[in-house]
Structure 1
Amino acid sequence: MPMHPIEHDRRYGELDQVVRAYAGQPADDSEDKLSVALTAYLRHTWHTRPSALATAERQLREYSLHPPGRLRLRLGEFYPIPDTGLPEHAIQNWLRTLADHIKRSIEAGEVPPPSVPLTHWEWHARFPEAAQFLGGWFSQDMPDEFADHDAAVADYTATTDLQLAARLAGELHELLALNLDESDYALALAELGMEVDPPAPYSPSGWLARVAERLGDGRFRADYGQSRFDG
């Protein structure tokens, strides 16, 4: 009988996050080397959900010690490890290696420093609302759906909860704070799902700044009341 979502998350939810971090990345961890994917997972999780690391370590180790048989996988009773490029006989040892690295990181307090995202997973984990915005409103179908880029931005602001729009504005400012070259901003936009070029005459970073400005244009005002210095 297939697992219910709550059972899946309780037993495999954080393991799934670790494995998803390897999408498009080699699973080349060893006893004395962390892969780019695991480094990205550790960096993001340390800075956003540090308590989840212990759960990841436990779930990885338990799965490596008690891997499901093919029948139970076929019945949907266990989490199937996605293809990592490793042969089947190497999966258990790889999972134990990941658990060991995470345990060492927790016990030694080894936190990867802030950095530009290194993987597709890390871009989306760090900038989730930007990925929703760019992938949803600026896919290759955008020219058929909207008159121009401004119309697409206007549609997003009109149809999206104000709190999510505020989150997007914050993510765009954080993205700009990476201080990348324009070619790297173009790559970042592509990683986050944008499939059309920014409108002329804007560079990628210039357009991001323009969108962030539009999102906050009079929408997030605070009422400070009457100052005690007012007449």
Structure 2
Amino acid sequence: MPLSPLEHDRRYGELDQVIRAYAGQSADDTPNEPSVALTAYLRQTWHTRPWALAVAERQLREYAADNPPGRLRLRLGEFYAIPDVGLPEDETRPWLYCLADHIKHSIEQGEVPPPAMPATHWEWQTRFPELAQFLGGWFSQDMPDEFDDHDAAVDGYRTTTDPHLVARLVGELHELLALDLDESDYALAVAELGMEVDPPAPYSPSGWLALVAGRLSAPRAEYGPGAQADAP
């Protein structure tokens, strides 16, 4: 029978996180150099879930040792089939062992990638999950058909979202703004996080993010599409 969610996570949950980090990235790890994707995974995981690194190292080795699986296990759905990462089939097993070796080295030597601007789509989404939900869910290309303007969309988010999640979003907005990026990088950030419409005039991406953070931080009674705020 197919793997249950619990069994999947026990056997492949963190392996799946590692592989997801390669979405849109090259699996060009070498024994001497981890890829951009693996470095992003190491950076994010060290700073949020360091205990998960050992789990990833073990699951990678166990998967590689059993790869490819027998046809019966595949047919029964009892095996996690990793997404295509652009490698020939005969190179997949050595690559998985290479990833495990890099993670083991990082743990044993305490080599932690320093904090930095996210380098991949996965890292943007993983570092700012509520912001990705907000921008991707409320500011997709359908936003002009669903709301009168950006203020109405922000108001819709606030009135339908648990206050704890709103507070989490405000924290992520401040964290992103604290990176003090160039405006072109803020434009990249909102795109990676799912925003498909431009900020309202006359705001730049960072100016509009600061405006949203301020409005969502204000008492609910003071917030609304008609609220006045100076441009940052």
Distance in 1 of aligned mates of 2:30 and 2:72: 30
- Paired residues for 1:84-163 under 5 Å: 84-163=85-164
Equivalent residue letter for 1:38: L
Partner of 2:9: 9
1:185 aligns with 2:196: no
Q: What code does the residue aligned with 1:131 have?
A: A
CA distance in 2 between counterparts of 1:209 and 1:26 reads: 34
- Which residue of 2 is the match for residue 203 of structure 1? 204
TM superposition shift of 1:78:
0.4
TM-score, normalised with respect to structure 2 = 0.93
> How big is the shift at 1:181?
1.1
Q: d(CA) in 1 for partners of 2:40 and 2:71?
A: 31
- Structure 1 residue aligned with 2:21: 21
Paired-residue identity, % = 77
- Structure 2: state its 5+ residue gaps: 221-232
Residue of structure 2 in register with 1:223 after alignment: none
Name the CA distance, whole Å, in 2 between partners of 1:74 and 1:137: 39
3-state SS of the aligned residue for 1:2?
coil
> Which piece of structure 1 moves more, 15-24 or 177-186?
177-186
Supply the distance in 1 between the matched residues of 2:51 and 2:131 (Cα, whole angstroms).
25
Aligned counterpart, 1:81 = 82
Distance 1:24 1:74 in 2: 28
Partners of 1:65 and 1:72 in 2: how far apart? 15
Q: Give CA-to-partner distance per residue, 1:33-62, whole Å, 9 cap, x none.
A: 100000000000000000000000000001
Structure 1 residue 74: Cα displacement: 3.1
Distance 2:153 2:102 in 1: 44
Q: Aligned partner of 1:103: which letter?
A: K
- Match of residue 36 from structure 2: 36
- Consecutive aligned runs of 4 or more in structure 1 exceeding 2 Å deviation: none
Residue 64 of structure 2 is aligned to residue 64 of structure 1: yes
SS at match of 2:213: helix
Structure 1 CA distance, aligned partners of 2:106 and 2:210?
Answer: 36
- The alpha-carbon distance between structure 1 residues 70 and 82, as it changes in their structure 2 partners (threshold 3 A), is farther
What is the CA deviation profile of residues 74-124 of structure 1, one whole-angstrom value per residue up to 9, with x for unaligned ones?
Answer: 321100010000001111100000000000000000000000000000000
Shift of 1:71: 3.8
Deviation (angstroms), 1:66: 1.3
- Looking at structure 2, the residues matched to 167 and 73 of structure 1 have their Cα atoms a distance apart, in angstroms, of 40
Matches of 1:70 and 1:98, distance apart in 2: 25
Aligned to 1:24, the other structure's residue is in SS state coil
Following the alignment from structure 2 to structure 1, what is the Cα–Cα distance between the partners of residues 55 and 9?
A: 11
- Aligned residue identity for 1:44: Q
Q: TM-score, normalization: structure 1? A: 0.93
* Deviation sequence 1:138-187 (CA, Å, 0-9, x none): 00000000000000000000000000000000000000011111111111
Q: CA RMSD in A?
A: 0.8
